[in-house]
Structure 1
Amino acid sequence: MNPSDAQKLTLRALIALVVGSMIGSGIFALPSAFGRATGGLGALLAWTVAGVGMLMLALVFQTLARRKPDLDAGIYAYAKEGFGNYPGFASAVGYWFGACLADTACLVLIKATLGLFFPVFGDGTTATAIVSASVLLWAVHFMVLRGIKEAAAINTIATFAKIVPIALFIVVAVAAFRADVFAANFWGGEEPTFSNVTGQARNSMLVTVFLFVGIEGASVYSRYAKRREDVGIATVLGFLGVLCLLILVTMLSFGVLLRPDLAGLPSPSMAGVLEAIVGPWGKIFISIGLLVSVLGNYLSWSLLAAEVMYSAAQTGSMPAFLARENENKVPAASLWLTNAVIQAFLVFSWFAEYAFSLALKMTSAMTLLPYLFVAAYGLKLAWTGETYGGVGRSRTVDWVRGAIATIYTAAMLYAGGAKFLMLSALLYAPGSILFFVARRERGLPVFTRVEWLLFGVVVAVAIGGLYGLATGALSI
């Protein structure tokens, strides 16, 4: 069902969805995350690689929005159109699980931040923290049920509000920047060799992936756009704006504190940097900014997760009940399922040693596969010439962009390592039950021969992951 004109989103609202989805917990943890992994030069290299790779992906989203305007479910629809039913389903369910994990990370960090001032919340995984996070989870749930446009409006306000503390941090850090400190951090405290720098950059690459998750926000909500062409514009503008903020926060921090001091800062480490410059009020100010930011980020991910499941159900890749809307045109059934899964992840976080870090890395691992499908579909369109009407310069440019984006996302999947692939398979395998149900509802064969093979690989990797957890070879 198409949204009414009253529910349509402007370019500004679409940009806010992109920025709101991307700017959350990650940017406030950047100083310590990069301080543990690399020095200044390695950070520059990591941001260059990640920036180019994700810019190419953003341009692929823009191209697909223009060349395939009928595919208005974004990240899921492109995988299905390009590679078949089960890959399309895998893209949808993987992205959905990633969104649920991102929301879990947001809730844990909110309570961990409160734990800096109220010890009862601890690191965000105490009993009190989990109970209070659950209350917040269901409070937001019932707010979203009142309407997507209302929730998107709140998200737009939260997006502008979260920029304020980040902008202040940048201004203060510029004033406090010391060239001698930056020079001491430049090589990361190691011998100035190419292998050391590339090794440092590689160690920080998975961090950058999580920070860019959400780039597809406008694409997922393309059916709500007032103008279809705004989807691609919002994706690119939102990405470039966030990239500038991420680079500034990272590099300026290397000019304030030495790398060992950055590495030792507790979350949110941006608060520790500002405290070192201006005193205790800096820690309080950034902590308040983080709470606003993460709440907005949480809302963005709640909207995205429910929308993906709803869109997949609309086209028969998910069970029909997930396509049900309430009187406010909100995909209520998918929202209920989404928040039930987040609640389960919250309870599970009680048993994880480093719940926040695990949730961040699992979010990256789960969303990289959907990104890979999008990049590969953009490459496929340019390769076959579909929608191009012949050979031309635009087709060559799009082919290069698609190739770079595909190589980048595949490399990031590889860089994540076997551990996160196995843990991802532990979600993909049982999640495939939804695909079985959807296909049986429509009286269709569940898998083609190739899809049976793909499903077999997923199950085999999941069994390996389960065995690893049981034997202690795989830790969480």
Structure 2
Amino acid sequence: MSADAATAEAPAAPGASTMSLPTLTGMVVGGMVGAGVFSLPARFGVATGILGSLIAWAIAGTGMLMLAFVFQNLAIRKPDLNAGVFIYAKAGFGDYAGFNSAIGFWASSVAGNTFYWVFIGATIGAFWDGLGDGDTVIAVALSSVGVWLFHYLIARGVRDAAVINRIVTVFKVLPILVFIVVLFVFFDGGVFADNWVATGYGDLGGLDEQIRNTMLITTFVFIGIEGASVYSRYAKRREDVGKATVLGFLSVLSIFALVTLSSYSVMPQPELADTRQPSMVGVFQEVVGDWGEVFISVAVVVSVLGAYLAWTLMAAEVMYVPARSDDMPAFLGQENRNGTPITALVVTSLGVQGLLTLTLFVSDALNFMLDLCTSLAILPYLLAAAYALKLGLTGEAYEGVPAGARRKETIVAGIATAYTVFLFDAAGLKFVLLMTLLLAPASLLYVKARSERGRRIFSPTEIVLFAAILVGAAIGVAGLWTGRISL
């Protein structure tokens, strides 16, 4: 189905069932509650104390809530646009911008899925030394088997995978809630007080530096907020897309903040910082004993596999939909008899396989993949927020809407846009250049797609954008060659 022609009343894709509000909300929660939540104690412990964490969650929560409202508002103002992340960028800033948004989102998903397999390896590595931190030859081999087993499952049909994701979401959230409740039962007021600013535990830098150092992890754990928007073509009711986004976000924000605060209530900040990843395992084991290590480790594996399922689905969708709307080569729009975008799924699985191989040569593969995933996701978020801001400023799609509502939504979009720009600064130049290293060669797909349909490849503005990407890629290559950029 063409994304441009689809409407709220359009039927789902062949072989796929329409999704209800609970199912869409489950896709949002399932996409966000993955590996990131289990790494929060140490990632925050190494960067800041309680005060800094509260400010960081307030900033991240506000910024991502504005993004949630952006997706909700766009679903209302532009109900004819489906697969939101890609199509909003295209509608607002042209075909090439939309293409880069789709590639950025897809690549972010691939890097995130690679992180998931490394994270599973690191978790099981606590019991089996051969897996190390998830980046040994044995770990990569076992992860590769997992990649293709999931590929087979998803190829059977989107409907089956969505139902499984909803079930897994329930079972992975329950252990996290147990973790929070148990840690608050063992609350230590003295430890909590000492962790308030953590000034006695070494040089963490000023409060602004501490907050900046938490931005990538807070963004990483919220990636997936657009899950309902990506699946909008399957929604029973278009208004459910926005509702699912906000409901899923608020639920997950509460969980993430409570995991962080409860960890600070039982362990000093330096011990949190030194806890082996996934750090929730070590924290819970410290409080309840050895059974806690097994309990949380099982939850990690279940949670991460569920998130992997959701993200592989989303990645395939974001390659498939542009192909169906003539913005990617036609071969990426092929479906199998179950209605699964099979070629896009194959490309996605191959991408994960490639990055898994790369982990053998990257130092600290776990954190590298986490930061790469987050940095790549910022671009599609920025373009979606900027499109919402553009609509508010120009008045497009606001005919007959009260001025107060338009003003409110414009302010929300402005805050979301500013927040995503701030995230680029927090990510740093290294990951921005690595992003251009991906976008530059990926543009060959855009050229092929335009050539297939006999369209002009670039407009004058798009030529400037393409040139900027090429310059960034050249600088990135030079940085890798000289060692100024390290992996």
Q: TM-score range by the shorter chain?
A: over 0.9
**Residue 398 of structure 2 is aligned to residue 388 of structure 1:** yes
Taking the TM superposition and a 5 Å limit, the aligned residue runs for 1:284-303 are: 284-303=294-313
> Normalized against structure 1, the TM-score is what?
0.98
The whole-number CA distance in structure 2 between the counterparts of 1:289 and 1:102 is: 18
**Residue 414 of structure 2 is aligned to residue 403 of structure 1:** yes
Residue 193 of structure 1 and its aligned partner are, at CA, apart by: 13
The whole-number CA distance in structure 2 between the counterparts of 1:407 and 1:104 is: 29
The whole-number CA distance in structure 2 between the counterparts of 1:338 and 1:239 is: 26
The whole-number CA distance in structure 2 between the counterparts of 1:192 and 1:198 is: 16
**Residue 365 of structure 2 is aligned to residue 355 of structure 1:** yes
Taking the TM superposition and a 5 Å limit, the aligned residue runs for 1:207-222 are: 207-222=217-232
**Residue 381 of structure 2 is aligned to residue 371 of structure 1:** yes
Contact between 2:48 and 2:204, CA under 8 Å: does it hold in 1?
A: no
The residue type paired with residue 441 of structure 2 is: P
Residue 431 of structure 1 and its aligned partner are, at CA, apart by: 1.0
Counterpart for residue 8 of structure 2: none
Contact between 1:32 and 1:263, CA under 8 Å: does it hold in 2?
A: yes
Residue 202 of structure 1 and its aligned partner are, at CA, apart by: 1.4
- Listed one character per residue, the Cα deviations across residues 283-337 of structure 1 (whole Å, up to 9, x for unaligned) are 1110100000000011011000000100111111100111111100000010011
RMSD (CA atoms): 1.5
Match of 1:464 among 475, 481, 484: 475
**Residue 76 of structure 2 is aligned to residue 51 of structure 1:** no
Q: Report SS of the residue matched to 1:29.
A: helix
Q: Report SS of the residue matched to 1:432.
A: helix
Number of equivalences: 476
The whole-number CA distance in structure 2 between the counterparts of 1:19 and 1:410 is: 25
Counterpart for residue 433 of structure 2: 422
The whole-number CA distance in structure 1 between the counterparts of 2:429 and 2:310 is: 30
Q: Report SS of the residue matched to 2:206.
A: helix
Residue 138 of structure 1 and its aligned partner are, at CA, apart by: 0.4
Contact between 2:15 and 2:159, CA under 8 Å: does it hold in 1?
A: no
**Residue 329 of structure 2 is aligned to residue 319 of structure 1:** yes
The whole-number CA distance in structure 2 between the counterparts of 1:9 and 1:318 is: 26
- Listed one character per residue, the Cα deviations across residues 383-406 of structure 1 (whole Å, up to 9, x for unaligned) are 111111156110000011000000
The whole-number CA distance in structure 2 between the counterparts of 1:190 and 1:386 is: 54
**Residue 215 of structure 2 is aligned to residue 205 of structure 1:** yes
**Gap change, CA 1:243 and 1:144, over 3 Å in 2:** same
Counterpart for residue 127 of structure 1: 137
Contact between 2:14 and 2:338, CA under 8 Å: does it hold in 1?
A: no
Counterpart for residue 291 of structure 2: 281
Contact between 2:86 and 2:102, CA under 8 Å: does it hold in 1?
A: yes
Counterpart for residue 97 of structure 2: 87
Residue 110 of structure 1 and its aligned partner are, at CA, apart by: 0.8
The residue type paired with residue 227 of structure 2 is: G
> Normalized against structure 2, the TM-score is what?
0.96
The whole-number CA distance in structure 2 between the counterparts of 1:193 and 1:347 is: 36
The residue type paired with residue 90 of structure 2 is: K
Counterpart for residue 474 of structure 1: 485
Q: Report SS of the residue matched to 1:423.
A: helix
Residue 198 of structure 1 and its aligned partner are, at CA, apart by: 2.1
Residue 196 of structure 1 and its aligned partner are, at CA, apart by: 2.0
The residue type paired with residue 179 of structure 2 is: F
Residue 56 of structure 1 and its aligned partner are, at CA, apart by: 0.5
Taking the TM superposition and a 5 Å limit, the aligned residue runs for 1:85-124 are: 85-124=95-134
Q: Report SS of the residue matched to 2:441.
A: helix
The whole-number CA distance in structure 2 between the counterparts of 1:400 and 1:180 is: 42
Counterpart for residue 461 of structure 2: 450
Taking the TM superposition and a 5 Å limit, the aligned residue runs for 1:13-92 are: 13-92=23-102
The residue type paired with residue 433 of structure 2 is: M
- Listed one character per residue, the Cα deviations across residues 136-170 of structure 1 (whole Å, up to 9, x for unaligned) are 10010011010001000111111111001101001
Contact between 1:190 and 1:196, CA under 8 Å: does it hold in 2?
A: no
The whole-number CA distance in structure 2 between the counterparts of 1:417 and 1:471 is: 18
Contact between 1:78 and 1:377, CA under 8 Å: does it hold in 2?
A: yes
Gaps of 5+ in 2: 2-11
**Residue 280 of structure 2 is aligned to residue 270 of structure 1:** yes
Counterpart for residue 9 of structure 2: none
The whole-number CA distance in structure 2 between the counterparts of 1:4 and 1:443 is: 28
Residue 194 of structure 1 and its aligned partner are, at CA, apart by: 13
Match of 2:179 among 164, 169, 181: 169
Counterpart for residue 187 of structure 1: 197
Residue 97 of structure 1 and its aligned partner are, at CA, apart by: 0.3
Residue 192 of structure 1 and its aligned partner are, at CA, apart by: 13
Percent of residue pairs bearing the same amino acid type: 48
Query: Which segments of structure 1 move beyond 4 Å, counting only runs of 4 or more?
Result: 190-195
The residue type paired with residue 174 of structure 2 is: V
Residue 367 of structure 1 and its aligned partner are, at CA, apart by: 0.5
Q: Report SS of the residue matched to 2:277.
A: coil
**Gap change, CA 1:425 and 1:5, over 3 Å in 2:** closer
Residue 188 of structure 1 and its aligned partner are, at CA, apart by: 2.0
Residue 6 of structure 1 and its aligned partner are, at CA, apart by: 5.9
The whole-number CA distance in structure 1 between the counterparts of 2:35 and 2:248 is: 17
186-195 vs 376-385, which moves further: 186-195
Residue 225 of structure 1 and its aligned partner are, at CA, apart by: 0.7
**Gap change, CA 1:151 and 1:219, over 3 Å in 2:** same
**Gap change, CA 1:130 and 1:5, over 3 Å in 2:** closer
The whole-number CA distance in structure 1 between the counterparts of 2:285 and 2:201 is: 31
Counterpart for residue 149 of structure 1: 159
Q: Report SS of the residue matched to 1:37.
A: coil
The residue type paired with residue 464 of structure 1 is: I
The whole-number CA distance in structure 2 between the counterparts of 1:447 and 1:200 is: 42
Contact between 2:38 and 2:279, CA under 8 Å: does it hold in 1?
A: yes
- Listed one character per residue, the Cα deviations across residues 16-66 of structure 1 (whole Å, up to 9, x for unaligned) are 110011011110010000000000000000000000000000001000011
The whole-number CA distance in structure 1 between the counterparts of 2:34 and 2:204 is: 33
The residue type paired with residue 245 of structure 1 is: I
The whole-number CA distance in structure 1 between the counterparts of 2:288 and 2:200 is: 30
Gaps of 5+ in 1: none
Residue 191 of structure 1 and its aligned partner are, at CA, apart by: 10
Residue 3 of structure 1 and its aligned partner are, at CA, apart by: 2.0
The whole-number CA distance in structure 2 between the counterparts of 1:377 and 1:273 is: 42
The residue type paired with residue 318 of structure 1 is: M
**Gap change, CA 1:244 and 1:460, over 3 Å in 2:** same
Contact between 1:36 and 1:259, CA under 8 Å: does it hold in 2?
A: yes
Match of 2:271 among 250, 261, 266: 261
